[in-house]
């Protein structure tokens, strides 16, 4: 237990130390996020926080985790993801090019010991052999979570806070089934995101950028596949899906919304959950805290599910979905006095 705590604390401490350096370098190198149509901020902001998260995570892993070839594969894949995100932060990359590098990064761990999910057990139907589709499934799983976290990075502290919650829940789940390496990796990720949050919560001093959000999504996707799906049951998907239930739901709505309007699903818009909350009269802190609460409830549903408490898990998911639907259809209302208050 002490080694778990020190892993989290070390990653958080590294992020606390490295993020101020990232702010200075971002301004020096011109890695800035300028105000625009979809931007909430009104002045150019440093967009180099992903470097602090990346370095903090891997420094903590190097010190506290027993390394193996699979973890080295994660290092190579996440480095590609980080580099592509960093280039995109400096000068925009076309979505198809970015997707190509995401797919390549997702494939790399296979060459370093990550095995495919070659068989999955579906309730009432029994085991189903996936064959080579098991590899395809893992690649799309990782790429999907990369873009899920990336799309959630819209308000100060939102993606970092959601990933802290998700990583802690995934640590608990990995530890419960005795997967020590996955447990350490999730704690290191939670610590790095948490330490960065001290500079990223509203009013933010720095943004993580695509280099940070895609890196967080990659590690969550890769480690959840490695550590949590080895039960080879369809229900084994539930925990990693639930812990990112809020951004996943937002992503699904974004795809439906853009397809309905005849737009490319890669085209950014101002229709995400956090935009709708701001439009309802909330300030950034209030909107982020509500989305934290939704994410925590999804995570809590995963915990109830893991303990076979289906009723509570389903109840929490249904309540969350009702709230999300109200937000998406602009039927969410906040007490006027609270929306004008300070949090």
Mean per-residue pLDDT for 44-58?
Answer: 96
| Residue 104: CB atoms within 10 Å | 14
Q: What is the pLDDT of residue 88?
A: 93
Instruction: Flag whether pLDDT at 143 surpasses 70.
Output: yes
pLDDT over 50 at 339, yes or no: no
**Tokens found for residue 20:** 């101020």
Residue 259 banded pLDDT, cuts 50, 70, 90: confident
pLDDT of the residue at 334: 57
Predicted pLDDT at 174: 87
pLDDT given at position 337: 45
Confidence of residue 121 (pLDDT cuts 50, 70, 90): low
Average pLDDT over residues 165-171: 93
Position 241 scores a pLDDT of 81
pLDDT at 154: 84
Q: What is the mean pLDDT of the chain?
A: 87
**Quick one: average pLDDT of 170-195?**
93
Any idea which of 34-38, 89-93, 261-265, 310-314 has the lowest mean pLDDT? 34-38
Mean pLDDT of 320-335: 79
pTM of the model: 0.91
Range 232-255 average pLDDT: 77
Q: Give pLDDT, residue 338.
A: 44
Of the listed ranges 17-21, 28-32, 259-263, the one predicted with least confidence = 259-263
Is residue 123 pLDDT above 90, yes or no? no
DSSP for 299-315?
HHHHHHHHTT-HHHHHH
Per-residue pLDDT, averaged over 151-177, amounts to 91
What does each C-alpha distance from 42 to 9, 36, 147, 227 come to in angstroms? Answer: 34, 8, 25, 42
Question: What stretch of H or E contains 46?
Answer: strand 45-46
Share of the chain above pLDDT 90, in %: 56
Q: How far is CA 73 from CA 29, 147, 214, 228, in A?
A: 30, 20, 16, 18
Distance from the first to the final alpha carbon of the chain: 34
CB 43 within 8 A of CB 204: no
Flag whether pLDDT at 232 surpasses 60: no
Q: Is the pLDDT of residue 264 over 80?
A: no
Taking residues 92-106, report their average pLDDT: 94
Q: How confident is the model at residue 240 (pLDDT cuts 50, 70, 90)?
A: confident
Q: Answer whether 77's CB lies under 8 Å from 69's CB.
A: no
> What pLDDT does residue 235 have?
54
pLDDT of residue 271: 73
For residue 329, the model assigns a pLDDT of 81
285-309 pLDDT tens trace: 999 999 999 999 999 998 898 888 9
Specify which of 43-47, 165-169, 249-253 reaches the highest per-range mean pLDDT: 165-169
> Residue 217 above 90 pLDDT?
yes
Instruction: Determine the Cα–Cα distance for residues 119 and 134; give it in Å rounded to an integer.
Output: 8
């Amino acid at each position: 237990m002490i080694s778990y705590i020190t892993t989290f604390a070390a990653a958080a401490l590294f992020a606390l130390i490295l993020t101020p350096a990232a702010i200075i370098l971002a301004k020096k190198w011109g890695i800035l996020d300028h105000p625009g149509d979809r931007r909430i901020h009104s002045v150019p902001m440093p967009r180099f926080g992903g470097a602090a998260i990346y370095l903090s995570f891997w420094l903590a892993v190097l010190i506290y985790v027993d390394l193996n070839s699979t973890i080295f594969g994660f290092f190579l894949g996440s480095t590609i993801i980080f580099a592509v995100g960093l280039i995109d932060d400096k000068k925009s990359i076309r979505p198809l090019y970015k997707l190509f590098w995401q797919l390549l990064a997702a494939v790399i761990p296979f060459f370093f010991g990550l095995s495919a999910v070659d068989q999955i057990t579906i309730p009432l139907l029994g085991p189903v052999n996936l064959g080579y589709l098991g590899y395809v499934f893992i690649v799309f799983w990782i790429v999907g979570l990369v873009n899920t976290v990336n799309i959630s990075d819209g308000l100060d502290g939102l993606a970092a806070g959601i990933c802290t919650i998700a990583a802690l829940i995934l640590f608990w789940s990995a530890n419960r089934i005795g997967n020590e390496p996955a447990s350490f990796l999730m704690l290191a990720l939670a610590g790095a995101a948490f330490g960065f949050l001290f500079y990223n919560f509203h009013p933010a001093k720095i943004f993580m950028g695509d280099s940070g959000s895609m890196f967080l999504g990659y590690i969550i996707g890769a480690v959840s596949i490695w550590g949590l799906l080895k039960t080879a049951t369809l229900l084994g998907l539930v925990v990693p899906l639930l812990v990112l239930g809020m951004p996943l739901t937002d992503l699904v709505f974004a795809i439906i919304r853009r397809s309905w309007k005849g737009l490319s699903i890669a085209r950014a818009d101002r229709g995400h959950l956090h935009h709708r909350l701001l439009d309802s009269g909330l300030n950034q802190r209030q909107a982020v805290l509500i989305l934290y609460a939704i994410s925590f409830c999804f995570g809590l549903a995963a915990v109830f599910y893991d303990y076979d408490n289906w009723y509570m898990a389903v109840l929490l998911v249904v309540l969350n979905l009702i709230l999300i639907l109200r937000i998406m259809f602009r039927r969410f209302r906040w007490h006027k006095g609270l929306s004008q208050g300070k949090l």
